[in-house]
Structure 1
Amino acid sequence: MELGDVLGRDFYDRDPRQVAVDLLGCVLAHETDEGTASGVIVETEAYLCMDDPACHAYRWPEMKNRTIFKGPGLAYVYLIYGRYPLINVNCEEEGKGSAVLIRALAPLVGLDLMAERRGKLDLCTGPGKLTQALGIEMRHDAHDLTHPPLTLRYGEASEGEIVATTRIGLSRGTELPYRYLVEGDPNVSVPPKTVAERGLRRGGPVPTI
């Protein structure tokens, strides 16, 4: 299966809420010596720099969060629970410190490879699961996602409705409806308990909430 065109840097140099919606339906792909593994993005979370207490940029730059300030299109990879890498993509200009977390994928290419890495058939239904399935590690922090081997690529808009809901797995900023997902997709990490906004679409305005 051919992968779509790699998303350019300008795609990310925008409000992370717009980027988070527009990434739904796009493809995260990792090409390695073992083979290519990829998936269609079905769930994201936006983090809004200094105005967002859950964003790693809410505090001033430190060694562990320095990558998030380095400008659009770079991968910001960090460990959760000291063990599981999560992948974000930086948004807006250098120094701003906003990003989008990729939370779930619908597996597309390399399912056998992903299952081997995961040791189970539950492949990409969460941010820590998808990095393991795609072989994404801490060494990919600050990787330029506009260049192989780890890229984000254009994909067709998902058929399901895009909705906004509150973020999960956080201790701060949980009330903010900055999680975006394709409603009803079986690969979404956690179905929304409430929906803050419906009818979102790629290429549309910044979500109103």
Structure 2
Amino acid sequence: MSALPKNPRSQRTYRALVVAGLELLAERPIDALAVDEIVSRARVAKGSFFNHFHDKAAFGRAIGGEIRTELEERIGRANATVSDPVARLAGGMRTGLIFALEEPRKTKIMLLNMSQSTLRDQPLNQGVAADMSAAFATGRLRKEARESGIRYWLGLCQVLMINAIERRVDATEAAKRLEDMIILALTGLGLSGDDAASYAASQSQLLLEEHQP
């Protein structure tokens, strides 16, 4: 993600480009957009685009990263009082699904444009990496989770979010799918079926309480 410029004028130009990108990427993928179209929508000079972004791919990654940052901030707030690392992982999946239900356009843009979205050393994955490591340290996860748990977990979260957008599920159906996915995800990591079901039921109920269509 490109850093926000310090100069106020540059900040305004950057934000105008990002807003234009959010609008245009909701309609077409980055490869189908021309830089001229982006700057026209943003009402800035063409040279301004290249002052902030190396190319269209970098532009798409920056926007995807901004949306992911917004999502991570939501997850941080949702898990602020939660200490159990397994519950924090499950809470992150719940929050991601709610985000997809409430912000389908942003979710689609994020999933199409995020760079290195499942890598351990991706800065925006540090929260889930820390929770996965803490969960592994409890001795409740299978040994494969040490190396592959992050990719596995994030992959399932992304599939759940994509499915919610494609199927346009309501809150009741979303809660059921979340419950099923958490059970599958946690048992896959090594938790017992009973433990996984308990976490899943709790997160499903929280989704119904938190998501207001």
Structure with bigger gyration radius = 2
Higher helix proportion (structure 1 or 2): 2
Q: Same fold per TM (> 0.5)?
A: no
TM-score between both structures, scaled by the size of structure 2: 0.26
Higher strand proportion (structure 1 or 2): 1
Q: Which structure has more RCO (C-alpha within 8 Å, separation ≥ 6)? A: 1
TM-score between both structures, scaled by the size of structure 1: 0.26
